[in-house]
Structure 1
Amino acid sequence: MSFFRLIDKGEGPVRLFVGGVHGREGLTTIHALKKIQSSDVKKGKLIIYNCDATKYISTLDKGYYHTPLGKYIVELIHHYKPEVYVEPHCYRPDSYNRLTDLQRQKRIGVPPLIELEKRVLIGSVSPHIRTSLFKREDVCLTLEMPCIHKENNYMDLEPAPHPDLSLELYTKLLKTLAASSTRKNLEKKMSKKYPLQVEKAREYARAFFGEYPPF
């Protein structure tokens, strides 16, 4: 499940994608990350790392960044200094309502994730690293899709509809992020396809981060 790839196209933005950061999510995220090819990066660098399975600790828990894997991710960020940082995740089928709950900020302190389509969700990375390790203009995103791996303890739950379509869109979004050269370029692409969702993301960012929006 552990996987590393460095795509170097010379000068340009540095992008870091880290999948499967907790639990067994890497069994799903690896399917998308392995599909990103050198041709998807036009200039700059893309570093892809998919993590081995670990005990599940939420990245919203500050203690996560004191675990061996949490420390390693922070080291990757310090080493590569990415301008685009993306965490591909996956979620249990029964967690959809909790992740997109409009009262999520009141309930656990962070804004809800936003569905783009096909049960693929988008949001900011953990505030524990967003404001401490990145600049205001950096792109820092979490992508979520329903888990598709079978090696887990919740396959008796009703699966998400059309997981193949979720994975297809999830992969396409990662390739879009790999190809985008600037924040403005990415926002233009995303706004054209998902105008309402991008505006909602900006609204959540202004409310949560104030003058430090993540998207």
Structure 2
Amino acid sequence: MKLYQLTSSEKKPTKLFVGGLHGKEGLYTAPILESLAKESEYTGKAIIVPCIVKESKYVDVLSEKYYQSKEGIKLLHLIQKYKPCFYFELHAYGEQSYSKLTDSEREQRIGVPPFVDLGNGILLGSIAPILRSRFSESDFCVTIEVPNWKSEKVQAEVLEILKLALSKAKREEVMHGLRMRYPVQIKKAEELFRLYYRNQLRPF
């Protein structure tokens, strides 16, 4: 498992960016995170793991079983070791999964809110509730889903989102940048988050 560490003079906050969590998703997420690791503008300490596993049986991160798997244990170890305040999880999905991931009735169907399409099939939402419970209320946790059938086309845009998180020291600075770029979509994502967590947590 390759790991990059970028540390600025401030050393805080600690940020963790991970991809390739299961299946063959690393084929699509690793190139983006490899590019992120080459960035020269960053604040705090950033830990970047382009691919937790190159290939594995697909176990959904919404399931407890994932966190008992070899790759899930690796992920939990990274979180426990670095204790990130910013956590960005990069996934890849197939075209046939788009409707399920963005289904307005996803919460009723499987217990979690739908992702929001930022455009070009780039989906944004919170992380699995099972994992979110391992972070504090003040931590900033985001999932980005990359469309695997056009990953090269959207790579630059996803990288820009991650660079925003890499370069800012405060969550509100990142959220402001996202709202400026995707006003309608981020408003919807925040509303879905607040409804799900009943206003007990700030998005995300």
Give 3-state SS (helix, strand or coil) of 1:18's partner: strand
**Alpha-carbon separation, structure 2, partners of 1:137 and 1:197:** 22
Partner residue in 2 for 1:117: 119
**Alpha-carbon separation, structure 2, partners of 1:4 and 1:35:** 13
Deviation, structure 1 residue 65 = 0.6
Gapped regions of structure 1 (runs ≥ 5): 148-158
**Alpha-carbon separation, structure 1, partners of 2:153 and 2:111:** 31
Report the AA paired with residue 33 of structure 2. L
With structure 1 as the length reference, what TM-score do the two structures score?
Answer: 0.88
| Aligned residue among 95, 98, 120 for 1:96 | 98
Deviation, structure 1 residue 61 = 0.7
Partner residue in 2 for 1:143: 144
Maintained 8 Å contact 1:136/1:214: no
Deviation, structure 1 residue 55 = 1.0
Deviation, structure 1 residue 213 = 3.8
Maintained 8 Å contact 1:138/1:214: no
Partner residue in 2 for 1:150: none
User: Does 1:175 find its partner at 2:177?
Assistant: no
Deviation, structure 1 residue 145 = 1.1
Give 3-state SS (helix, strand or coil) of 1:46's partner: strand
**Alpha-carbon separation, structure 2, partners of 1:55 and 1:63:** 12
Deviation, structure 1 residue 12 = 1.9
Give 3-state SS (helix, strand or coil) of 2:6's partner: strand
Write out aligned runs for 1:35-184 (5 A): 35-36=35-36, 37-41=38-42, 43-49=43-49, 50-52=51-53, 53-131=55-133, 133-147=134-148, 159-160=149-150, 163-184=151-172
The one-character-per-residue Cα deviations of 1:130-155 (angstroms, maximum 9, x if unpaired) are 02x111121101001111xxxxxxxx
Partner residue in 1 for 2:180: 192
**Alpha-carbon separation, structure 2, partners of 1:24 and 1:142:** 17
Give 3-state SS (helix, strand or coil) of 2:158's partner: helix
The one-character-per-residue Cα deviations of 1:83-103 (angstroms, maximum 9, x if unpaired) are 100111100111111111111
Report the AA paired with residue 12 of structure 1. K
Maintained 8 Å contact 2:52/2:75: no
Q: CA RMSD in A?
A: 1.3
Maintained 8 Å contact 1:13/1:83: yes
The one-character-per-residue Cα deviations of 1:44-67 (angstroms, maximum 9, x if unpaired) are 111011222211000001111111
Give 3-state SS (helix, strand or coil) of 1:69's partner: helix
Moved more, 197-206 or 163-172: 163-172
Give 3-state SS (helix, strand or coil) of 1:173's partner: helix
Partner residue in 2 for 1:154: none
Partner residue in 1 for 2:194: 206
Report the AA paired with residue 17 of structure 2. F
**Alpha-carbon separation, structure 1, partners of 2:99 and 2:155:** 19
Aligned residue pair count = 199
Maintained 8 Å contact 2:115/2:125: yes
Gapped regions of structure 2 (runs ≥ 5): none
Deviation, structure 1 residue 38 = 4.0
With structure 2 as the length reference, what TM-score do the two structures score?
Answer: 0.93
